[in-house]
Chain A
């Protein structure tokens, strides 16, 4: 059976070049990068090289602004808790949005338990953060604004430059969870008025278990992990050398291919959407029609529940998801679609197709071929569809 993977916002297949680059660091080059002997020095050189590549991708000329973490979740935790704890004397107020990834939302909720105050700014029906509300939320006690660069479920790209300007004017730190934006959108951290920016390796065809946090020079931050002097004293723990090397390779290639890759993905994605709309009635596009990640398509199929669609597509070898993989074990409707004001009945039947570099036009045609009959069969089973036909 044909296999079509359309869940690249959950994770990507590691590219061959990254794996090849990593293998020596699981075998002969096993030194601890903190050691002074040659074994250690070789590992250190590899880490330095990878840091440069990640710095280039993120758009900073200073490698001292890139800190390796175990992934996007740690980068988010580090940024938010780190700033909150470092600036405790200055204030206790954090601003975020209602549609953040749980790595940000639940970190903010944790800080609320510690006594911090958090404002969850609303979004519009296209998932764009309400900038007026954001401005109004800032108080003299505000120490951090954390807003995602692009949403993982619907792909909407937030006005990061504007938010950065607002934050800078008010003298508030600005963190952005750019896990979905890195390697999909061209940007330079140095031009964004961003103080902290999170990224993950496995979303950009690199390995799992590795990520990075960009910390602008001079930003006050308390470390999460205490121990040795790794990562310029900000993140203790022996470096995951192979992971770092893999991330570096993925970053280097992503930077080179970004433009071409995204043109291709956008074309395929739009082809898929046009096909869906021409074959299936009562569908809606979730997310901003234009300000959207080039690979992301979130479609609501009216009268249906998402899991039954996911399982049926899975039986045909097609991998998609309802909202985010992290929440598919829960029964709650997507917090993102709910925040966008989507009718509760309609949040249930929303499916995310997130494309990746392996996808082809043939893949899209295959999906379009099986999707129609699946939707038709499930709708015939749905009492809601039945109700609609009668009225």
Chain B
């Protein structure tokens, strides 16, 4: 079945979870470019206990790109920042019942978008100082 999507991928592609934006996001991650065919933008909302209370995405890309975006937002909701940092591209792919080899880079993009959003959150927190609630 090389090159074919799993049922889980198709399910997330058909009904992607958490599509949209978070206007007052705690962190935003942007990865990819249109030339390579995928762009992901991942938003996270983090509370003062460092728990990710909400995550949303916008993605330009193939079925796998949309499904991995959807899955990564599902995986990190409710997790702390420290836990979310452990979510790897393999975990995303695995949760989707696997990805075709040629599409594994989509899961890498999802991981990078997540790291980007967390980095952005950390940078903002640092800039605002230790007493700010962000």
Contact = CB atoms under 8 A, between A and B. Distances in A.
B58 A386 contact: yes
B19 interface: yes
Contact of B61 (A305, A330, A344, A386): A305
A333 B40 CA distance: 18
Interface in B79-131: 102, 105
Given A333-B37, A344-B35, A383-B39, A308 B102 contact: no
A320 B84 CA distance: 39
Contact of B65 (A305, A315, A333, A344): A305
Interface string A364-391: 0000000000000000111110100000
Nearest to B61: A305
A329 interface: yes
Nearest to B19: A381
Given A344-B35, A345-B34, A381-B16, A329 B3 contact: yes
A328 to B, nearest CB: 9
B60 A315 contact: no
Contacts of A329: 3, 102
Contact of B35 (A307, A345, A380): A345
A89 interface: no
Interface in B24-54: 30, 34-41
A107 B14 CA distance: 39
B58 A308 contact: no
Nearest to A303: B60
B66 interface: yes
Contacts of B134: none
B37 A311 contact: no
A331 interface: yes
B63 A381 contact: no
B58 A305 contact: no
Contacts, number: 59
A5 to B, nearest CB: 20
A304 interface: yes
Interface residues of A, number: 20
A330 B62 CA distance: 12
Contacts of A315: 14
**B contacts with A: majority SS:** mixed
Contacts of B102: 329-331
A69 interface: no
Contact of B37 (A331, A381, A383): A331
Interface string A300-315: 0001110110010001
Interface bin, chain B: 20 to 34
A344 B60 CA distance: 14
Question: Which residue of B16, B60, B62 has the most chain A CB atoms within 10 A of its CB atom?
Answer: B60
Nearest to A381: B19
Nearest to A305: B61
B57 to A, nearest CB: 8
Contacts of A330: 102
B59 interface: yes
Interface in B1-20: 3, 10, 13-14, 16, 19
Contacts of A142: none
A381 B66 contact: yes
Nearest to B65: A305
A267 to B, nearest CB: 33
Given A305-B65, A331-B102, A382 B59 contact: yes
Contacts of A344: 34-35
B35 A305 contact: no
B113 to A, nearest CB: 11
Interface string A213-229: 00000000000000000
A304 B58 CA distance: 12
Given A329-B3, A329-B102, A308 B61 contact: yes
Contacts of A303: 60
A305 B41 contact: no
A308 B58 CA distance: 14
Contacts of A382: 39, 58-60
Nearest to B2: A329
A390 B16 CA distance: 24
A307 B63 contact: yes
10 contacts: A305-B38, A305-B61, A305-B62, A308-B63, A329-B102, A348-B34, A348-B37, A381-B66, A383-B40, A384-B34
Given A333-B35, A382-B39, 16 more contacts: A304-B60, A305-B65, A307-B63, A308-B13, A308-B61, A311-B10, A329-B3, A331-B36, A331-B37, A333-B37, A381-B16, A383-B30, A383-B41, A383-B60, A384-B39, A386-B58
Interface of A: 303-305, 307-308, 311, 315, 329-331, 333, 344-345, 348, 380-384, 386
